[in-house]
Amino acid sequence: MQFLNQLLNFLQQGITAIFSFIRSIWAWSSTQIQAVPWDNLSALPIWKIILLVVLAGVIVYLLYRALIELVEAGQRALQAFATLLAVFVQTLLPVLMAGVAAAVGAWVINNVSL
């Protein structure tokens, strides 16, 4: 049992570290996107405005790709969760029957004498 607890603790720490890294990347990227002078168009030369428009297109495209991947992964995760729930429901009868068999066997062993 201790090994199982250690394994689960290790997995939890690993998942926490992964999500912490992901959160820091999202926060850093968000800060960088907000740092672009989006509202200062009138004071910029034309080449910087063109660069800003191209940059906006690249950012929108990359964020769109990330959104699509997140939606697809969410759909797959939801399908996996639904499958897991269905398996739990399907295993209820055999588990219940095993419990009944154990209860009957224990009752017979404890109460019947021949």
Q: What is the largest CA-CA distance in the chain?
A: 102
Residue type, 40: N
What was the pLDDT predicted at 40?
Answer: 79
Does the predicted TM-score (pTM) go above 0.75?
A: no
Cβ count near 89 (within 10 Å): 9
Both tokens assigned to 11: 């997995």
Domain extents for the chain?
Answer: 1-35, 43-114
pLDDT at 95: 95
Q: So what's the pLDDT on residue 50?
A: 94
Which residues, given as ranges, of the chain have pLDDT below 70?
Answer: none
7-39 pLDDT, tens digit per residue, is 999 999 999 999 999 999 999 999 999 999 888
> What are the distances in angstroms from CA 108 to CA 9, 77, 94, 95, 105?
41, 46, 21, 20, 5
